[in-house]
């Protein structure tokens, strides 16, 4: 499979092919996702999906690097994007460039960060250092406290126009793509038609250049509240737990392991050992 690059993605979008992105956090999820999708995102959603946090705010650069390295070792062909965690791009440009450049040195082809016009200077500096940037607008999970919860954004006229304006500013700043999360379809549609860069929707309706969902949500591995925009294709948690339960039953009932799952001594050695 040829390597998926940013120019390849832009061409696919111009050809009208909807792009697909999902998350991966380790080698297993990377091998599941890579052959299927155009872009693999090592999301800071690793915090709530895999690490047991309530939100993405406690996720650190050390955690992201750990997960990115695991994914990168599988040498994905999809475009590998790494999410900049909270406080990794807020403190200084030097710090931001080191963090983002470190992602590229670990095998990412692009970084993603959240926010609108207040990120323009940061994004310009990253692009200036040859670091491709994917923006993220609308429901930005790192703003959970500022938003007062995980709520759909851009429902009022003022908010909708602000997101549209932010999208244009991020394009001008040099982003090659934007994630649009938790906004009305009409707003995402308007953004997509008025920009030349890619829009990747999640809870943003069908009129985007592509769609992204968290892999564990698609596979039914996440427990608890599932947002309206998630479609789950298999009850992965139940299916996998049933399989595990069968194995436990077999162990407890003496059906596991069988001779085929065990090692035997050669006959002559067996005789000597048994004697």
* Known binding positions for 3-methyl-2-oxobutanoate: 44-45, 83, 112
Q: Is 191 in the site for ligand KIV (CB under 6 A)?
A: no
Query: Which of 13, 79, 202, 204 is close enough to bind ligand KIV by CB under 6 A?
Result: 202
Q: Is 29 in the site for ligand KIV (CB under 6 A)?
A: no
Query: Which of 4, 19, 23, 88 is close enough to bind ligand KIV by CB under 6 A?
Result: 23
Residue 24 touches which member of ligand KIV, Na ion, none, C-beta under 5-8 Å by kind: none
Binders of ligand KIV in range 31-50 (CB under 6 A): 41, 43-45
Q: Is 83 in the site for Na ion (CB under 5 A)?
A: yes
Q: Is 83 in the site for ligand KIV (CB under 6 A)?
A: yes
DSSP string covering the chain = -PPP-HHHHHHHHHTTPPEEEEE--SHHHHHHHTTT-SEEEE-TTHHHHTS--SSSTT--HHHHHHHHHHHHTT--SSEEEEEPPTTSSSS-HHHHHHHHHHHHHTT-SEEE---SGGGHHHHHHHHHTT--EEEEEES-GGGHHHHTSS-----SHHHHHHHHHHHHHHHHHT-SEEEEES--HHHHHHHHHH-SSEEEEESS-S-SSEEEE-HHHHTT---S---TT---SS-HHHHHHHHHHHHHHHHHHT-SS-GGGS----HHHHHHHH-
Cβ-contact 178, 188 below 8 angstroms = no
Choices 18-26, 76-84, 126-134, 232-240; region in contact with Na ion by CB under 5 A: 76-84
Q: Is 212 in the site for ligand KIV (CB under 6 A)?
A: yes
Catalytic residue at 165? no
Judged by beta carbon, residue 38 or residue 44, the one nearer ligand KIV is 44
Q: Is 44 in the site for Na ion (CB under 5 A)?
A: yes
Catalytic residue of the set 121, 181, 249, 261: 181
Minimal distance in Å, beta carbon 127 to ligand KIV? Answer: 20
Binding residues (CB under 6 A) for ligand KIV: these are 23, 41, 43-45, 83, 179, 202, 212, 214
Q: Which residues bind Na ion (CB under 5 A)?
A: 43-44, 83
Active-site annotation, residues = 181
């Amino acid at each position: 499979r040829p390597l998926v690059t940013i120019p390849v993605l832009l061409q696919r979008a111009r050809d009208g092919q909807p792009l697909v992105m999902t998350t991966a956090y380790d080698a297993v999820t990377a091998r599941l996702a890579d052959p299927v999708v155009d872009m693999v995102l090592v999301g800071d959603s690793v915090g709530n999906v895999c690490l047991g946090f309530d939100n993405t705010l406690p996720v650190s650069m050390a955690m992201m690097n750990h997960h990115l390295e695991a994914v990168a070792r599988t040498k994905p062909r999809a475009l590998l994007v790494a999410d900049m965690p909270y406080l990794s791009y807020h403190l200084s440009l030097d710090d931001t460039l080191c963090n983002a450049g470190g992602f590229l040195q670990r095998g990412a082809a692009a970084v993603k960060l959240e926010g609108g016009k207040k990120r323009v200077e940061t994004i310009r500096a990253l692009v200036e250092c040859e670091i491709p940037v994917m923006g993220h607008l609308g429901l930005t999970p790192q703003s959970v406290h500022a938003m007062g919860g995980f709520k759909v954004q851009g429902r009022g006229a003022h908010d909708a126009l602000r997101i549209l304006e932010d999208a244009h500013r991020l394009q001008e700043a040099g982003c090659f793509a934007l994630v649009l999360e938790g906004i009305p379809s009409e707003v995402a549609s308007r953004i997509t038609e008025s920009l030349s860069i890619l829009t990747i929707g999640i809870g943003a309706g069908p009129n985007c250049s592509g769609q992204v969902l968290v892999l564990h949500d698609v596979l039914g591995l996440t427990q608890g509240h599932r947002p309206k925009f998630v479609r789950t294709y298999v009850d992965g948690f139940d299916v996998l737990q049933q399989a595990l339960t069968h194995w436990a039953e077999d162990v407890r009932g003496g059906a596991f392991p069988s001779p085929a799952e065990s090692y035997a001594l050669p006959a002559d050695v067996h005789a000597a050992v048994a004697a």
